[in-house]
Amino acid sequence: MGEYQKKAMEDADDAIEYFMDEIVEQLIEIGEAETDIQSRPYPQSYHHESHVDSSYSLLEAANLLDDLSDYEETDEGLWDGQMPRQAISIQAAFTYGNAVASMFSDEMETVNGDCGERARELGERRSEIEELLDQAEGDPDLEARLRKELEDFTAYAERVVRSMIRVSIGREEEAKHPKDWKPRGRS
């Protein structure tokens, strides 16, 4: 793996960390998260500003284009009318953006496969606590206990899913969480 491939993969994983809250919520809610870095819920400006909006010297651009040839930008309209060196720099910038977007998508497919089912199960358990809370209306003590239980469980579920994501993308050795959660008062 070349220098620019390594950097693009690192930037793809950094983007997953950057969007961790959105990814965790999607996984808990529906068992999968969006894989396209240029789609909602991820702001398009983040990808462009972080991965595309760069300039490269002629040598850097040549090395990048060679290293990331599988992701090469071919839309000549992006650099039409530019001086040759500037055109190559623009092509390199968009090629790098393509590489990061593709690697982000691949990593998110892996995250969805590794984490989706367990995250969805946690979401279902959270929903069960929410239903119990709805049914407890009129019993202030039970409502207070269930609100605390919901708050604790939500924090637990988010920690578990974050850890699973980090394991999935290779940023954490192993998940650091217990396998099961037993709400207080239930077995």
| Preceding omega of 41 cis (within 30 degrees of 0) | yes
Q: Which two tokens stand for residue 26?
A: 């999607």
Are 15 and 37 in contact by the 8 Å Cβ rule? The answer is yes
Instruction: Enter the pTM of the model.
Output: 0.87
Q: What does the pLDDT look like over 19-36, one tens digit per residue?
A: 999 999 999 999 999 999
In the structure, what pLDDT confidence band is assigned to residue 137 with cuts at 50, 70 and 90? confident
Q: Is residue 76 pLDDT above 80, yes or no?
A: yes
- Under DSSP, the state recorded for 49 is I
Mean pLDDT rounded to a whole number for the chain: 92
Q: Are 109 and 17 spatial neighbours (Cβ–Cβ below 8 Å)?
A: no
pLDDT of residue 182: 56
